Every structure is written in structure tokens, then in C-alpha cells.
């Protein structure tokens, strides 16, 4: 079984190539030991070959999660071959990563993408001469048009089976050459013991790569000799070690491109991108344009398309529930088990499945924005304001997804470059009001603020953003001191989204959401049903007042007195809201004995307008549902961090609701 690694820069067409090579034969998991997503798949037409899609990177320096994951995979997992995809329209930049991949001495094939764009703009590349200059096979491809894919895989399979390593690994001359070769002789035994290519290790040590220094376990004398060799190089080059290595690589790339590449004229796509960006990324129109686009996405998702599909799903689930209910009644099933199936599983899981169409539609639009190139612009636009609270623009994409659902939003933090940025973003993402809270907002605003319903709901969404920023300042000044990781992102040209790529992206994210949320909710609804259906002596109860859940509600009800509501039924509803925020409404209906249609009037016996608004603020901010918490646990990787998220969110929510209620009491 041959395993290939697919490596390349961001926006080089890597995802499109991966999808074309694997089709639907794809698997999603995690790289060993980390929570960065790994996509792998069986290559169509090759029964004995699979491919792993590595994160898009520009270098093998261990600074970002993507670089670390890629480097560790190539060094430790040792794939049989590398397919390095390169954008032919910006080959000078792309070959910087290629040179480092060549040093790994793994069989490699260069897939030269976007050749048709290069040729359309009067550019060209001498494929044969480029192959000779680099010492590796080069194959021009067009994944979108499926050109060259067969030849690429034939060449990759042939190279891997023959274990044909790159013919050239020495790209330097002068002081850099002497320094690297001196280091090679010093570390050769250490590198072989660790199964690391000596040339790659030596180049990294010349750059000042600390992780490589630790891996090789060099003694003090050897380290001193390496530093002496590097110092001589810096003195002769009159620059620092990293700049010297970068200059060496780009000098080689420049020489190769002069021989092999005819540069293209400015493309039509590039001119079109410049015109669009003059509006979408300008100081004056960037934010209004962004808000307009996202308002359109949310309107289509939650109003025009998603809402209608969600109602159809609800009708289908209700009909299925009624059919099963009648069948179980006719069968004469034990009433307790009957209640578990209908009131527990169908009610709890159905509340989540009802929102699946909305999530799918939202992911469809987000996938279209991602494939078109606009998502990169969003991160660029938001970088400056987010840096004021200690985050980079890359953190905004997960936060944006939080308006749809916290589960995929937390999962999206995998793309962040540092553990600090990731943990901080996970803490702030739940402040974005997810779609599951909309039923609560709709019910309470209709009951207490009918004339200002839209205004109050908008205020809650804005409050989530503002309080998220405030929380970010607090975290930056306390437990997350320091600056975010530098944010480097290429802005790709705008292109029409590929239908296949968009649908695959949507399906991957939706499937992941359904699998994770459905399984956790399924287990949690059974627990909630049990707590609602039995008393402390495990006797089945018909009145929820006598249930275990009610006892827990009584136990914690005093905590909520300072923020305006003390009735045990309210605190009980908040507990069930931990399972799914929609469950707050159904729990209040059950415990008050009111139907969904009449619950609005019943709420007036539990809340005043001020305490109702305090309740809305608390609901907006307190810990997200159990599915989101399970995802947080998985992404953070430990229970301590997960409990901190729960306590921080709930404590912050209580404090803000307390301020709202107490300040409100001064005026009402």
C-alpha cells in the first residue's frame, strides 16, 4: 500500500486536486497527537494507493500548527512519496517550499497547476528544463478540467515504487555552502540515529531551528562548533542566519526561473480581482460590504431557504414521531419505555435534527465564500481590530461561524497558529449568538417586548459581539498575555466557486456536525429524560415537580435571585438548556403545564419585563450546549481547560446579568 503526501501553498489548488484524485473515497480524522484535521483518501483507479492532504503552508519552519503538523508527518510518518502542487502563475514563491521538500530525500513529483492561466496570459514554462534544474519529475496539470491527472499519478507511482529520491539537494554556494557542509559533517551520526535527512537537518540548524536542535541531542561542544560556522557565514554575508538561508534559496529560484520561465502578462482574473478589492477591502467600504454580504447570507439561511427546509424537517419528524407513538401504543409497550422513546429520544434529538437544514444551508454559503476567495479577505479585514484584543484576523472565521452553531465554530479553531490564539478564540466563540438560541429570543421578546421585538433581538446579537470584545480585553490583560502570532495570508484571485468542491466542503462540515452533535445529544436527552421522569427514590413520576431534575433546580435556584429570577422551574430549564438551548422552551412548557401556544402568557407568572431581559442576557452568554462543550473538550485536549470554559462562560453571564438587573432596578 503506497501512501502519498499532498503538499503545497495555500490557495494553490490543493483541495481541488485532492478531491479529484479521491472523489468520495475520503476520510476525516486528526493527525497523530494533535487536533489539526487530517483529510486522507484512497486514490481513484489505484487500489494500492492513498493520499493525505497536508495543511497549506509556505515553509517547513516550525512556527505555525500547519507547519509543525506537515513537518512532523513527513519526518515521522515517512510517506512513500510527495506530490507537491505548485501554482504556475506565481512559481517563484511556490518553489521556496519545494526546495525544502526536496531536502527531505523523499520521492517527489512536482504538479504544476494553473498552466492554462499562465499560457492564456502569454507566459510559459519549459517543463523538461525545470525538471532537470530541480532534479525531480514535473507534470503540468489542471484539476478543474481533469487534465494531466493520469500522468501525474503514473509518474508519482513510478517514482515511489522505484524509491527514486531527488537527484539534487545542494542549492547553495559561497559562505552558505561552507556553513551548511560544515554542519553536515558535525551532525551526520545524530541525524542518522533520528532517521532525519542530514542535509535537511543541517539547513534547519543553520537557520536557528530550536526544535531540530533538541531532536538531535547535540552536546555543548557540537553546538558551539555549529554556532561558530554560522557566525562565520553571517560575518561574510553581512546579514543574519535566517536571511542568509532565505537569500540562498531565492537566488537559486531566480536562476532557475530565468532559464525556464517566461513571465506572463497581468491576467484578466488579476485585473478583475484588483477592481473588486478596491471596494471589498477598501478602508471606507470593507466593513459595510462585509456586513451586507453576511446579512444576505444569514437572511437566506435563516429566512428564505433554511427556515422553510427546517419547517419541512419539523413536519417530517412530527409525523414520524406520531406514527411511532401510535405503533408503540397499539403494541402496548411499557409506558416508561414509551416515554423514553417519544418524550426523550424523539423530542431531544428531533430538536437538533430540525436545525440540520439550516446548518447545511449556512455551510453551503460559507463554502462558496471560501472557494471564491472572499473568506481570506474577511480574515484580512478583521485582523487589525482583532489585534487590539490580542487575536489575529484568522480567529474571526471561527467566531463568524459561531452565529450558526458553536460546534463547527470551535472545530474551526484548528486552523489557528498557536495554542494561545486557539484557546482564547474558543473562549470567545460562544459569545456569538448561535441559531439554537433564536427560539428563546423569539418567545421572550414576543411575550414581553412585542413592539420592539426586532430591536431587542438585534441588541442581543450586538451585545454578544461587544461583550466578546470586552472579554477579549480581560483575557488579554490576565491569563492570555502576549501578542498573537504574526498573521501572513495570501489573497487569492476571485474565482467562481467549483460546484464539486463547494458541495464536498459543505458535506464534510455538515456530516461532522451531524455525527458529533447527534451522538452527544442522543446520550444527553436520555439523561435529561431520566432526571425528569424519576424521583430521588427512582420511582417513576407523572408530575415533573417531584423529579430529580426539579430537586436539582430547587438546589440551585437561590443562585439566580440576585439576577431577577428565583423560581426553580427557571433554573431547571437552564439546566436542560445545557443539553440544547431549544430545550429551555420545552422544559418551561412541561414544568408550567402550558402548551407551546400558551407559554408566552405563562411566562408573566415567572418574570417581569426586566427579569425577562436579564434572563435573555444570561441565556445569550452562559455556557453553550453539551455538544459544543464536548467539542471544546476535544479541541483543548483536557478536562481542566474544559471546566474553565464552562465556569468562565457561566460566571461572566451571571455577572453581566446581575449588572443589567441591578442597574435596571434603579430606573424601574
For 297-328, the pLDDT digits (tens) are: 767 776 677 767 777 877 887 788 889 888 88
Using 50, 70 and 90 to split pLDDT, how confident is the model at 34?
very low
Distance of CA 193 to the CA centre of its chain: 37
The answer to whether 6 touches 51, Cβ cutoff 8 Å, is yes
Give the pLDDT confidence score for residue 479 in this predicted structure.
77
Query: With 50 as the cut, is the pLDDT of residue 602 above it?
Result: yes
Question: Which residue in 119, 129, 429, 350 sits closest to 258, CA to CA?
Answer: 129
Out of 93-97, 410-414, 664-668, which region has the weakest mean confidence (pLDDT)?
410-414
Spatial distance between the Cα atoms of 175 and 235, rounded to a whole number of angstroms: 9
Average pLDDT over residues 113-133: 88
- Residue 360 to residues 305, 356, 412, 433, 514, Cα–Cα distance (Å): 11, 6, 16, 18, 10
558 or 63, which is more confident: 558
Q: In what order do the strands lie in the sheet with 37-42?
A: 26-30, 37-42, 49-53, 2-8, 81-87, 108-113, 138-140
For 464-507, the pLDDT digits (tens) are: 888 888 888 888 887 777 666 666 666 777 877 777 777 776 77
Spatial distance between the Cα atoms of 41 and 26, rounded to a whole number of angstroms: 4
- Residue 258 to residues 91, 116, 118, 665, Cα–Cα distance (Å): 12, 20, 16, 75
DSSP letter at 432 equals: S
Give the pLDDT confidence score for residue 610 in this predicted structure.
92
Give the pLDDT confidence score for residue 32 in this predicted structure.
45
498 or 1, which is more confident: 1
Question: Which residue in 66, 62, 180, 163 sits closest to 108, CA to CA?
Answer: 163
Give the pLDDT confidence score for residue 524 in this predicted structure.
66
Average pLDDT over residues 375-391: 78
Average pLDDT over residues 101-125: 89
Spatial distance between the Cα atoms of 56 and 104, rounded to a whole number of angstroms: 18
Query: With 80 as the cut, is the pLDDT of residue 62 above it?
Result: no
- Residue 96 to residues 207, 252, 465, Cα–Cα distance (Å): 15, 10, 40
- Length of the chain measured in residues: 668
Using 50, 70 and 90 to split pLDDT, how confident is the model at 656?
very high
Phi, psi of 137 (to 5 degrees): -65, 145
What residue segments make up the domains of the chain, in order of their start?
2-161, 174-262
Intra-chain end-to-end CA distance of the chain, in Å: 73
Average pLDDT over residues 458-468: 84
Give the pLDDT confidence score for residue 35 in this predicted structure.
45
State the pairing for strand pair 2-8/26-30: unpaired
Spatial distance between the Cα atoms of 310 and 357, rounded to a whole number of angstroms: 6
Query: With 70 as the cut, is the pLDDT of residue 57 above it?
Result: yes
For the chain, give the longest Cα–Cα distance.
Answer: 91
Give the pLDDT confidence score for residue 133 in this predicted structure.
92
Query: With 90 as the cut, is the pLDDT of residue 449 above it?
Result: no
Query: With 80 as the cut, is the pLDDT of residue 80 above it?
Result: yes
Give the pLDDT confidence score for residue 31 in this predicted structure.
44
For 238-249, the pLDDT digits (tens) are: 888 888 888 989
Instruction: Supply the mean pLDDT for the chain.
Output: 82
Phi, psi of 405 (to 5 degrees): -160, 140
Give the pLDDT confidence score for residue 33 in this predicted structure.
44
Spatial distance between the Cα atoms of 502 and 438, rounded to a whole number of angstroms: 27
Helix or strand or coil: residue 391? coil
Spatial distance between the Cα atoms of 655 and 129, rounded to a whole number of angstroms: 68
Ranked by mean pLDDT, the top range of 11-20, 56-65, 308-317 is: 11-20
Given the candidates 3.30.1950.10, 1.10.3470.10, 1.10.287.1770, 3.30.930.10, the CATH classification of the domain at 174-262 is 1.10.287.1770
The upper half-sphere exposure of residue 304, i.e. CA atoms within 13 Å in the direction of its Cβ, equals 7
pTM, full prediction: 0.62
Query: With 80 as the cut, is the pLDDT of residue 366 above it?
Result: no
Out of 46-55, 384-393, 656-665, which region has the weakest mean confidence (pLDDT)?
384-393
State the pairing for strand pair 2-8/124-125: unpaired
Angle at the Cα of 558 from the Cα atoms of 552 and 559, rounded to 5 degrees = 90
Average pLDDT over residues 540-566: 82
Give the pLDDT confidence score for residue 499 in this predicted structure.
78
For 251-293, the pLDDT digits (tens) are: 999 999 999 988 877 767 778 888 888 888 888 888 888 878 8
Query: With 60 as the cut, is the pLDDT of residue 510 above it?
Result: yes
Residue in this structure with the C-alpha cell 453551503, named with its chain if needed: 364
Spatial distance between the Cα atoms of 226 and 211, rounded to a whole number of angstroms: 15
Report the share of the chain in percent with pLDDT over 70.
88
Ranked by mean pLDDT, the top range of 34-38, 138-142, 309-313, 508-512 is: 138-142
* Overall fold of domain 2-161: Rossmann fold (3.40.50)
113 or 473, which is more confident: 113
Helix or strand or coil: residue 176? helix
Amino acid at each position: 500500500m503506497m501512501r502519498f503526501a499532498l503538499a503545497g501553498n495555500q490557495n494553490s489548488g490543493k483541495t481541488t486536486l485532492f478531491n479529484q484524485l479521491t472523489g468520495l473515497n475520503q476520510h476525516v480524522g486528526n493527525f497523530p497527537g494533535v487536533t489539526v484535521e487530517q483529510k486522507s483518501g484512497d486514490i481513484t483507479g489505484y487500489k494500492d494507493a492513498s493520499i493525505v492532504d497536508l495543511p497549506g503552508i509556505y515553509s517547513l519552519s516550525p512556527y505555525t500548527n500547519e507547519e509543525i503538523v506537515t513537518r512532523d508527518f513527513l519526518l515521522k510518518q515517512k510517506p512513500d512519496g510527495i506530490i507537491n502542487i505548485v501554482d504556475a502563475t506565481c512559481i517563484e514563491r511556490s518553489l521556496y517550499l519545494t526546495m525544502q521538500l526536496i531536502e527531505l530525500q523523499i520521492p517527489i513529483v512536482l504538479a504544476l497547476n494553473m498552466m492554462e492561466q499562465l499560457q492564456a496570459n502569454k507566459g510559459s514554462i519549459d517543463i523538461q528544463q525545470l525538471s532537470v534544474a530541480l532534479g525531480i519529475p514535473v507534470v503540468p496539470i489542471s484539476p478543474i478540467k481533469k487534465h494531466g491527472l493520469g500522468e501525474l499519478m503514473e509518474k508519482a507511482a513510478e517514482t515511489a515504487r522505484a524509491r527514486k529520491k531527488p537527484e539534487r539537494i545542494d542549492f547553495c554556494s559561497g559562505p552558505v555552502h561552507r556553513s551548511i557542509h560544515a554542519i553536515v559533517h558535525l551532525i551526520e551520526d545524530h541525524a542518522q540515529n533520528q532517521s532525519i535527512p542530514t542535509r535537511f537537518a543541517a539547513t534547519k540548524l543553520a537557520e536557528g531551528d530550536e526544535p531540530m536542535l533538541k531532536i538531535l541531542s547535540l552536546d555543548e561542544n557540537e553546538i558551539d562548533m555549529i554556532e561558530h560556522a554560522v557566525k562565520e557565514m553571517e560575518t561574510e554575508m553581512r546579514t543574519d542566519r535566517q536571511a542568509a538561508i532565505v537569500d540562498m534559496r531565492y537566488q537559486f529560484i531566480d536562476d532557475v526561473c530565468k532559464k525556464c520561465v517566461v513571465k506572463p502578462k497581468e491576467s484578466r482574473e488579476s485585473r478583475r480581482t484588483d477592481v473588486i478589492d478596491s471596494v471589498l477591502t477598501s478602508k471606507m467600504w470593507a466593513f459595510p460590504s462585509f456586513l451586507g454580504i453576511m446579512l444576505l447570507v444569514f437572511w437566506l439561511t435563516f429566512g428564505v431557504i433554511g427556515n422553510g427546509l427546517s419547517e419541512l424537517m419539523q413536519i417530517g419528524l412530527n409525523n414520524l414521531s406520531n406514527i411511532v407513538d401510535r405503533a408503540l401504543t397499539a403494541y402496548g409497550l411499557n409506558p416508561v419505555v414509551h416515554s423514553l422513546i417519544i418524550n426523550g429520544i424523539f423530542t431531544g434529538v428531533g430538536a437538533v435534527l430540525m436545525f440540520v437544514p439550516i446548518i447545511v444551508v449556512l455551510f453551503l454559503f460559507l463554502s462558496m465564500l471560501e472557494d471564491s476567495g472572499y473568506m481570506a479577505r474577511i480574515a484580512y479585514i478583521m485582523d487589525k481590530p482583532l489585534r487590539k484584543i490580542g487575536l489575529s484576523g484568522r480567529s474571526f472565521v471561527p467566531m463568524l461561524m459561531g452565529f450558526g452553531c458553536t460546534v463547527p465554530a470551535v472545530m474551526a479553531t484548528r486552523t489557528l497558529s498557536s495554542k494561545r490564539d486557539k484557546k482564547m478564540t474558543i473562549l470567545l466563540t460562544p459569545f456569538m449568538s448561535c441559531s439554537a438560541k433564536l427560539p428563546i429570543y423569539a418567545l421572550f421578546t414576543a411575550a414581553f417586548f412585542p413592539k420592539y421585538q426586532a430591536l431587542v433581538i438585534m441588541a442581543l446579537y450586538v451585545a454578544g459581539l461587544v461583550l466578546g470584545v470586552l472579554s477579549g480585553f480581560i483575557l488579554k490583560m490576565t491569563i492570555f498575555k502576549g501578542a498573537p502570532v504574526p498573521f501572513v495570508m495570501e489573497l487569492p484571485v476571485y474565482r467562481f466557486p467549483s460546484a464539486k468542491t463547494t458541495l464536498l466542503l459543505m458535506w464534510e462540515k455538515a456530516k461532522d456536525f451531524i455525527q458529533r452533535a447527534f451522538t452527544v445529544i442522543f446520550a444527553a436527552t436520555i439523561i435529561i429524560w431520566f432526571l425528569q421522569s424519576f424521583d430521588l427514590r427512582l420511582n417513576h413520576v407523572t408530575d415533573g415537580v417531584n423529579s430529580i431534575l426539579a430537586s436539582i433546580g430547587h438546589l440551585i435556584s437561590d443562585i439566580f435571585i440576585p439576577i431577577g429570577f428565583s423560581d426553580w422551574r427557571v433554573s431547571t430549564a437552564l439546566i436542560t438548556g445545557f443539553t440544547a438551548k431549544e430545550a429551555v422552551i420545552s422544559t418551561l412548557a412541561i414544568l408550567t403545564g402550558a402548551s407551546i401556544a400558551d407559554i408566552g402568557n405563562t411566562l408573566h407568572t415567572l418574570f417581569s419585563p426586566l427579569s425577562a431581559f436579564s434572563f435573555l442576557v444570561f441565556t445569550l452568554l452562559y455556557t453553550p450546549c453539551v455538544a459544543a462543550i464536548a467539542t471544546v473538550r476535544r479541541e483543548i485536549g483536557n478536562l481542566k481547560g474544559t471546566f474553565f470554559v464552562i465556569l468562565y462562560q457561566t460566571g461572566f453571564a451571571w455577572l453581566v446579568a446581575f449588572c443589567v438587573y441591578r442597574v435596571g432596578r434603579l430606573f424601574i
